[in-house]
Structure 1
Amino acid sequence: MERAMEQLNRLTRSLRRARTVELPEDNETAVYTLMPMVMADQHRSVSELLSNSKFDVNYAFGRVKRSLLHIAANCGSVECLVLLLKKGANPNYQDISGCTPLHLAARNGQKKCMSKLLEYSADVNICNNEGLTAIHWLAVNGRTELLHDLVQHVSDVDVEDAMGQTALHVACQNGHKTTVQCLLDSGADINRPNVSGATPLYFACSHGQRDTAQILLLRGAKYLPDKNGVTPLDLCVQGGYGETCEVLIQYHPRLFQTIIQMTQNEDLRENMLRQVLEHLSQQSENQYLKILTSLAEVATTNGHKLLSLSSNYDAQMKSLLRIVRIFCHVFRIGPSSPSNGIDMGYNGNKTPRSQVFKPLELLWHSLDEWLVLIATELMKNKKNSTDITSILLKQKGQDQDATSIPPFEPPGPGSYENLSPGTGESKPDALAGKQEASADCQDVISMTANRLSAVIQAFYMCCSCQMPPGMTSPRFIEFVCKHDEVLKCFVNRNPKIIFDHFHFLLECPELMSRFMHIIKAQPFKDRCEWFYEHLHSGQPDSDMVHRPVNENDILLVHRDSIFRSSCEVVSKANCAKLKQGIAVRFHGEEGMGQGVVREWFDILSNEIVNPDYALFTQSADVGTTFQPNSNSYVNPDHLNYFRFAGQILGLALNHRQLVNIYFTRSFYKHILGIPVNYQDVASIDPEYAKNLQWILDNDISDLGLELTFSVETDVFGAMEEVPLKPGGGSILVTQNNKAEYVQLVTELRMTRAIQPQINAFLQGFHMFIPPSLIQLFDEYELELLLSGMPEIDVSDWIKNTEYTSGYEREDPVIQWFWEVVEDITQEERVLLLQFVTGSSRVPHGGFANIMGGSGLQNFTIAAVPYTPNLLPTSSTCINMLKLPEYPSKEILKDRLLVALHCGSYGYTMA
């Protein structure tokens, strides 16, 4: 307090004398009086204050211990700087970091301050604590003009900092071209390494400084790696610096092949390699073709290594697919890349671009011959369906280097018997004559399936990159058809191959249909895992329900208008973000989180089928399922709302949220793209469905029905005659064409009448669920995915079951049946319920309230005479299971499970 009072009194006396404030006597107080004046370069005031004071101009203050000369140099206060120098300020005084005033002037580009400091003998070679000199600071910031002045005072332009880096290193790293030229003109060592062996060229490439690298290479810079063997090219590729790579290749052409070989290095990020090769390919047509041809050659080499059975499968597989992905990417983005859909190189096209695929033809040829070989052996051993013992292969040389095994070459006619696949050599006579399974032998299919499948995937990728999006190459379709049996064998052995390598099946319905029965035979649980694994592939890991940082990502909805407000916010939301996670908040409420999202889905489930919106109507079969309303057009926004309903179900499935809504079997078929059949008509008109069944079951030749391929139906409220096919009104329905008539009537009633509604719904649904993935399931499984696994009370089921056609509750077959129902899983019980009733859930009140086509209808089991391999069937309209009189519980269980897992095939109707 006393000190403050004294300072105040001194200020008062000074003001009374109309003079400048006098400096306090102690340096600590005085320096803070002078500092703002120095920063403002008020040299006269500073001069007057210093004239009659004992202030030490070299006094170091603050945490960094700088003097007022540091402050002047840092701020460019040249007049104050000169004044301080004349008063004896030390130009080489170092602050706590080792910086002199010259360092600070150089760092901030204060040219006049630098000149004055040099006049007063500032030492340009002083290093701060990091070894940086004033020349380093100029180089870091590209102060070329100042550098020209400073280098005249520098004894060693290559002075190193603590890391052994010279001014040239840092100038190259930051891309200061004129600074680099100035340093080189001043004698800087162009190839000087730092402590880790990195040269200036290395530094330029590490940050993609193309122009700086070009200057260095033009002046003779050597291409040198650091002490760890990392080269300038490695750095360019790691950073995706295509332009800098281009410069390196101009001066060192051999590096082109190095880049091509880098595609095999799994430690390098693939997207960076693509970026580099994409840039290089854009430079000229010749360069583009050269890159593609080189990539094709490397891919072919890797593919043959993969087919060599002693090579490392995992490494070679990843390498091949990586190279082919890069190849296809470059092919698509090449200069004036064709987009006319011509399958170049595969349809006899002899253009230069088609020739880039030529090296790969060798690999495809080997692949073809492998598959032919396996097909031949499969045909020979058709009788042994459990194991192909005749093509057991003794695996020799497990530790032999992969590259030493030559690729498989096709044998001559009739020589398959003695061929050892993968080596191109004949097997020893003992092995050829005695093909027995042993611990040292492996099934050739087990050994080759994954390898061949990876090459098949590469073949598909190469075919696809030449076709417009969404189209499958005719050549590839021909290939799959040719090798159908072998590919089915592969998929049978390991169904996950479809997801690992046979993506073409998911992308091409024409091909998938050939394998669908194999996929559908896999456990539902496995298919669910595959579905979600590939649905979320490529998405960042995150909780299913997250809390977005951005407030705009929250779906803010109103409870009193939840359907309309949700439709509005979902239609405006970013689909990619909704796939990653959902956050919902009700207007005026604070709650957020998974519980709120669950509530949102629950409420929307009820609103979607709210009669007020006229979107769906209740079905006629079990009374609790819904079907799109053919008269939904009474709602002007009906198609927008159908699209929104599709989005909600797609979102729910994407995030494993269950919805409290059930649709008819036919509508699930529409979602899956499965054609409806006449049995599905029962959900909207059971009596009409029975009439169709009657037509199919009876000879109508002489009945005089006079039906034609046209029907009378409601079109916008008026009855009109609608042809089932062109000219249908004049085509009579006969015994020969009645099946076609029934199918066309079914399609009219179940599909054509609601086609716009279905299309709108699917448009929204497929925004979140790809058609290729949802086809893994049948209509019953889709219901389980969307609505969950219901609880089934088996005792209530038994209590409310009726028996007919000769069965009684005490019969052994019935006893076995209920024992099996008790033994099977909850999932299989649900499948059984779906199989017989068409619904996966029990109505409120239990099995006593199950509905049939004409009202309440108990679950019924009817006797059917047994014949070997006969499967149970069902009549969903009357909830009847037609159960053969099986001779044992084991056979009953086996046949029942086969029927359940075959989906809807084999169903009948009463």
Structure 2
Amino acid sequence: MPTDLTNVKYVAIAIAIAVVLLAVANWAYYKYYFVPTQVGNDSLFNRQFLSFMPGLKRQDLEEYQLDEELWSCSVCDFQNLHLKPVCLLCGTRRDTRFIEIHGVSTPAKPATVVRSSSSNYLQVTSTRASSLHATASRIYSMAFENVVLPEDLNAQQRSARMRKQWVRLHDVHGVVRWTRRFLDAAQVPDAHVIQMNTPPLPSTPPPSSSGNLSPVVESPRTTHQSSIDCASPNDLLQKLHQAPTEDCHVIMWQPLDTTPANVTVLGSVVPPATASSLLEISKLPFYMKYAWFLHQVHDLVVPYDELHIKVKVMRDAIVQEAVENLLSYPPRALCAIVRYEFTGESAQDAGAVQREWCFLCYISGIITLGRYMLVSEGLLVEANGLFVVLNREDNSYFINPNSSHAWRHPNHMDHLKAFHAVGRFLGRSLLDGQVIPMHLSPVLLKAILGVPLTLDDVEGLDRTVHKGLLYLLDHDNAQDLALTFSVSETHGHNTVVEVELVENGHLRAVTDANKAEYVRLMVRYLVFGRVEAQLSALLQGVYDVVPPELLMPFDHKEFELILCGLAEVDVADWKANTVTSSNLDNSSPLQWFWEVVEAMSPVDRSRLLQFATGSSRVPVQGFKGLTSYDGEICRFTLKGVPYEGGAYPATHACYNRIDLPLYPTKDMMKEALTMLLLSDPTGFTIE
């Protein structure tokens, strides 16, 4: 009997050793000899990938990170998650120290022209003071490492720094008011807000919006809301009704001191209790505000079983169809779930077609008419005439003042209707959580939010013009410049028209006595007057979809972050939030894939991301925030598939998935991914 027990014991040990050796051999085979003849019955392969996901929504992710440690950027004061090495808003590194030199500043005096450039936030009254500032800057640069001085800030950092110039605060009486935290151009401190108001009666002249300045010669501009009353979602796709409704608004340039801070862009008054609550929300870190915002927009969405819209569009007519569809939706349908399908292409819209529609509407519908085009390196073509790049330093887009002549539509649609559709497009992007590569001018972002605008904001449009206005204020003998109270505009291609800032402005010379008034009127003209009709239509479109109260807690850079997401593809974040099939776990192909991605240029990474998800931008929350059409989290997935000669990776953007052949070598994988990036990232022929 003892002998039998001993034999059983040895047999058990031998079996255990064999099992261990078999496991080791199996691991080594899949790591180093990984070319399979067929795919196993992994349950991950045979499921819809959406059902494999955690079942979370965007707003749930924010709640998970509310308790995470934050660090504050020294340049823009944005509070970033502790794992982020650079500021999401301005790109400043975490270890950077921003220094403002206040020792040489001089308070403004009535008899002295005082200038403080928005690039350095200093008040300088003489050449000697400027020299002192330059000397002090050099000393700081030599004394400290990783120091950023005011004059070192780039356009992105300057814009982010300006986000805290204006904040809403309670005054001594508990009333919410706008408060200016710093002032750069002290000579012209006037501040105005842009608001929509009910138009005055025909017999009543429009109120002056220029305060104590001479009135600008202009007529009240109106924009009309167009919609169709539809009996069913299919009716929404009928031809756009061209007749405007009686609902119209007049856009106004309102002096800040006559405009309460609890009045929205649409001119509606927010109740004091609500205004106070929104004020407290505005003081929270961005991630808390964003969590609140996601919950609010989630409640706006019409349940799918109550109303949803199916849209078929042709790629070669993406512009006109997108504009016409957006304008045709009645109010309730603006917040309904929309499923998109490109004619002649098979694709299940779990979000990718919607994301690409947003991308193509931006690239094609906002840039070129009748055809879509993919733009690399963030450069956009201005062929359709709605937007132009005024600031070449940051390549941000502003409304084209010449849009009435430059815009073309097959059905001769008015350019204001196009801007109304653009506004609705922006609103739908916010509602759907679809980030778009739409780098708008800070002035336009502030106008959408209703933030006060001043001479300082002209720098965001055109830094050269801004410097010219400051030069005029800083120097005597203004009459030597031969300026008048008028500006020249180009209408069409060759027609130059003189626009008067005041009545008979072309006859009124700019002198030292009236140059401050001239600058005030130029500020109004540059940021508002020349685009007021287009701006009115765009604002109305945005707030057709999203209530203005939901955006009140955000500054313009936070708003841009929500709208545009992240341009930079963080490979570490991508890798950390990727689901892989079992045959890729701890395998060489998986390691090679990430090595190839890390070695790619930023442009190629963005193209690969667009192949995989339908969008070239990363959500605000990073890769863990990738979603399907209904806002549910849908993580990026890598699925290993058998390698066959000449096989390329297959993308399933509807599910944020890449089917990755198990290539024998890293070079073969790199070559395949390179060839993939050379092809057209749009279009759906699978799933």
Q: Which has the larger radius of gyration?
A: 1
Query: When you count strand as a share of all residues, which structure comes out higher?
Result: 2
Give the TM-score taking structure 2 as reference length.
Answer: 0.38
The structure that is helix-richer by fraction is 1
TM-score by length of 1: 0.29
RCO higher in structure (CA 8 A, sep ≥6): 2
